[in-house]
Amino acid sequence: MNDNEAADFDAVYRGESPIENMTSPPWDIGEPQPAMTALVRAGRVHGPVLDAGCGTGDTSLYLAECGFTVTGVDGSPTAIAAARDKAHHRAQSGGSGPGSAEFVTSDVTTFEVASPRFATVLDSTLYHSLAVSAREPYFAAIHQACVPGASLHILCFSTRAPFPPDQPGPNLLSEDELRGAFGRHWVLDELTPATITSHLPGGAPAGVRDELETDEQGRVLLPAWRASAHRND
């Protein structure tokens, strides 16, 4: 994906991916990314939480089960509808937890709130999906939505992720590029190697799975970064 491209993620969530044999979003694994749940367990997430690029809501609903007040924002109406359905079914079954989650269809780069209210932003695989020209508006939008001292945690693909260069895909990030990305709105505190758990699309080149680590469910673990920052006040 280049600076002028805007992937149609709603089409992907509708099962209409431009990538051959991809019938569902490979990043939609039915649970939060382990790198995000590790932050919660470590006590590094404080509410209220903005789940930026929430997809079908698994991270938001997990946070609600942990007692957080969460707003999940995504530009895909199909994904937001699925997230609301999940929330409804969990509430009906009594498994919604002590917190709360609401879901909003919005471009995160233009998302606005009446007054700053979020103490943490979790970005689980959104940032690498933005066009390069959208990065500064993204950082500015989430900055204005957050209270002083707020934290931001980004999980994104590194340049080591084996994406075919001839197919649509994320904007892979080098260490230097990510270190220099936060600009005037956020201060980077920590940048560590991580992995993104993903299903492997049916059209992936032969042998790719053999070159990657997998989890106990056979899902691939793709090279990534986890960046943690705080609001520049």
DSSP string, 121-162: EEEES-GGGS-GGGHHHHHHHHHHHEEEEEEEEEEEEBTTS-
Q: Is residue 22 part of a domain?
A: no
CATH of the domain at 223: 3.40.50.150
How far, CA to CA in Å, does 38 sit from each of 7, 146, 172?
Answer: 29, 22, 23
Whole-number pLDDT of residue 145: 98
Give the position of tokens 């979020």: 118
Question: What pLDDT was estimated at residue 233?
Answer: 87
Per-residue pLDDT tens digits for 155-206: 999 999 988 776 667 999 999 999 999 988 999 999 999 999 998 765 455 5
Identify the top-confidence range among 3-7, 182-186, 187-191, 215-219.
187-191
In a domain, 8, yes or no: no
Run of H or E residues at 186: strand 186-198
Count of domains forming the chain: 1
CA–CA dist 158, 42 (Å, integer): 23
Where residue 5 falls among pLDDT bands split at 50, 70, 90? very low
Provide the residue range defining the domain that includes 37: 27-200+207-231
DSSP state, residue 165: T
Residue at 7 is within a domain: no
Mean pLDDT, residues 69-79: 97
**Closest to 177 measured CA to CA, from 215, 225, 129:** 225
- Note whether residue 21 is domain-resident: no
Q: Give the end-to-end CA distance of the chain in Å, rounded to a whole number.
A: 33
Query: What confidence category does residue 210 fall into, taking pLDDT thresholds of 50, 70 and 90?
Result: low
pTM (predicted TM-score): 0.91
Q: Is 57 a domain residue? A: yes
Share above pLDDT 70 across residues of the chain, in percent, rounded to a whole number: 88
Round the average pLDDT of the chain to a whole number and report it: 89
* 39 falls within a domain: yes
Q: How far apart are CA 25 and CA 16, in angstroms?
A: 10
Q: What distance in Å separates the CA atoms of residue 172 and residue 110, rounded to the nearest whole number?
A: 23
The alpha carbon of residue 119 and the mean position of all alpha carbons in its chain are separated, in whole angstroms, by 17
Whether residue 9 is contained in a domain is answered as no
DSSP 106: -
Q: Which tokens go with 211? A: 């070159």
Asked if residue 121 is part of any domain, the answer here is yes
3-state helix, strand, coil in the chain (%, to 5): 30, 25, 45
